[in-house]
């Protein structure tokens, strides 16, 4: 029976994994090791700034294990969304770590690099041609937003990865990727069903998060066959269950049956899940439906200023009862004090213990016996952000309210200094679909021979 074994070592490159679990995974005879290295989950700062949200040392540790194993077994290693966000700076950052590990470990291999950057000129021209549309409830894209964005990346599908494998790449380092793509590329190249391969990739992308108990820093094994795939955890302490695998299928998806991706939709209307052993689940019936024209998601981030925050707590019930009035008063007083700078800053309050997690979507906004308050000032300059935050903090500290008894201060500060310079602040500026002439149009593949 035709079968391909895939090893997913960790949810994100740098999150780590137990050496014992990794050895268990290798003992299954994998045909490929693949790992997702990034996400938009940590927010826009990392894409906007070009920095990684995972420490370099942690990424190097994982890559040392992965490169050593892949070259020993003579199987390909695929890395998607390099450096956390998949822009060119992230790709080069990860490439340098790979080269460093290769020198230290005495490894030689053919490596392919696939940047996912979208130039501002290209995206602006596509916008003028009507090839760009919003993905979800986001504003229409404008050329001004494109110009203001620092980094723009597109989510590649399996096609550029397959081109790299066809070119003899033993290590594939890709920029921003559709998460399942690095897992599905080799199977699809070898003729396995795309729907099953992509669905398996969807499960493996976060490794043992799809097991019980779940973990983002442990290994997961996938076995792909002609009409089904099977998944199990590499650690004997975890098991794949129907509930855990089905739940992860729905992870980050708004529709439980139709999962869109580059060039098509993963259709799960006919999918079934079955427990075949205590630790293994079989999945059948997933289908991929190509959609024309071929579209991919473009992501971008732009800088909006500098952020300074102050964190404080309060447990006076009178203060908490008057909190809305206090926040409104602090805002009014601050905006009046900085009236000449009003268009250059924003002031926000996040109240934890009431609705700090879900905001206006909180179904039960009743306050508890204490609250935590985060004052956030974002301004064009760090000096202005610091001034606004400091003024708002001191105003709230001594703000008078009905029934107030203490004059010593309304807030308790856990740290000194009380105000923190976060640095540059970014927002996601582009979350749109772009139509391509062909799947590899904006994803050039280049090769290099790495020699120890």
pLDDT per position as a tens digit, 265-311: 999 999 999 999 999 999 999 999 999 999 999 999 999 999 999 99
Whether the predicted pLDDT of 394 surpasses 90: yes
pLDDT at 353 over 90: no
Tokens of 363: 């179904």
pLDDT band with cut points at 50, 70 and 90 for residue 366? low
Please say if the pLDDT value at position 383 is more than 80: yes
What are the boundaries of each domain within the chain? 3-299+431-450, 316-411
Over residues 207-216, mean pLDDT: 95
- What is the per-residue pLDDT for 367? 62
pTM of the shown model = 0.91
Query: What is the pLDDT confidence band of residue 365, given thresholds at 50, 70 and 90?
Result: low
d(CA 428, CA 324): 29
Share of the chain above pLDDT 90, in %: 88
Interval 353-374 mean pLDDT: 76
pLDDT band at 403 (very low <50, low <70, confident <90, very high): confident
Three-state SS string across 387-421, please? HHHHHHHHHHHCCCCCCCCCCCCCCECCCCCCEEE
| Residue 356's pLDDT band (cuts 50, 70, 90) | low
User: What does the pLDDT look like over 98-141, one tens digit per residue?
Assistant: 999 999 999 999 999 999 999 999 999 999 999 999 998 899 99
Contact of 438 with 294, CB cutoff 8 Å: yes
- Let me know: does 292 contact 365? Beta carbons within 8 Å: no
- C-alpha–C-alpha distance, residues 146 and 430, integer Å: 8
**Cβ–Cβ under 8 Å, residues 82 and 174:** yes
Strands 171-174 and 77-80, how do they pair?
parallel
Closest CA to 278 of 368, 222, 211: 211
Distance CA 224, CA 194 (A): 11
Measuring CA to CA, which residue among 34, 8, 32 is closest to residue 21?
Answer: 8
Cα distance from N-terminal residue to C-terminal residue, the chain: 38
Residue 430 has pLDDT above 80, yes or no: yes
- Res. 440: pLDDT tops 90: yes
Q: Are strands 229-233 and 258-261 parallel, antiparallel or unpaired?
A: unpaired
Number of Cβ atoms within 10 Å of the Cβ of 43: 15
Cα–Cα distances (Å) from 323 to 33, 406, 425, in that order, read: 53, 16, 27
Token pair 């003899």: residue: 168
């Amino acid at each position: 029976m035709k079968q391909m074994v895939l090893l997913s070592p960790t949810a994100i490159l740098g999150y780590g994994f137990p050496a014992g679990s990794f050895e268990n995974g290798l003992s299954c005879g994998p045909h490929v090791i693949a790992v997702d290295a990034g996400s938009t989950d940590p927010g826009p700062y990392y894409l906007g700034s070009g920095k990684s949200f995972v420490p370099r040392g942690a990424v190097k540790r994982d890559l040392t294990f992965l490169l050593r194993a892949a070259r020993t077994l003579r199987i390909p290693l695929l890395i998607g969304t390099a450096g956390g966000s998949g822009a060119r700076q992230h790709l080069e950052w990860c490439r340098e770590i790979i080269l460093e590990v290769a020198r230290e470990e005495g490894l030689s291999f053919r490596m392919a690099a696939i940047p996912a950057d979208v130039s501002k000129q290209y995206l602006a021209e596509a916008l003028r041609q009507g090839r760009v549309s919003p993905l979800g409830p986001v504003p229409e894209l404008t050329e001004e937003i494109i110009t203001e964005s620092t980094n723009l990346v597109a989510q590649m599908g399996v096609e550029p990865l397959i081109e790299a494998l066809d070119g003899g790449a033993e290590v594939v380092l890709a920029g921003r990727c559709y998460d399942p793509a690095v897992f599905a590329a080799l199977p699809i190249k070898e003729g396995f069903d795309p729907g099953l391969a992509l669905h398996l990739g969807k499960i493996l992308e976060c490794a043992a998060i799809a097991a019980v108990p779940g973990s983002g820093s442990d290994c997961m094994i996938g076995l792909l066959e002609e009409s089904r795939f099977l998944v199990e955890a590499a650690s004997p302490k975890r098991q794949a269950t129907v509930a855990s695998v089905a739940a992860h299928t729905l992870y980050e998806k708004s529709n439980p049956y139709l999962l869109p991706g580059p060039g098509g939709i993963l259709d799960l209307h006919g999918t079934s899940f079955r427990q075949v052993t205590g630790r293994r689940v079989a999945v059948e019936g997933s289908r991929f439906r190509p959609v024309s024209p071929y579209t991919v998601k473009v992501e971008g981030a732009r800088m909006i200023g500098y952020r300074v925050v102050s964190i404080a707590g309060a447990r006076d019930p009178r203060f908490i009862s008057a909190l809305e009035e206090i926040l409104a008063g602090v805002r009014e007083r601050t905006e009046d004090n900085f009236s000449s700078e009003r268009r250059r800053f924003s002031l926000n309050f996040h109240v934890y213990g009431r609705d700090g997690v879900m905001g206006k979507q909180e179904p039960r906004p009743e306050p508890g016996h204490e609250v935590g308050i985060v004052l956030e000032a974002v301004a064009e300059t760090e000096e202005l952000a610091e001034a606004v935050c400091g003024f708002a903090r001191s105003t709230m500290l001594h703000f008078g309210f009905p029934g107030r008894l203490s004059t010593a201060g309304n807030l308790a500060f856990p740290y000194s200094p009380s105000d923190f310079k976060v640095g540059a602040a970014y927002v996601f500026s582009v979350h749109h679909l772009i139509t391509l002439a062909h799947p590899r149009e904006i994803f050039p593949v280049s090769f290099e021979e790495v020699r120890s």
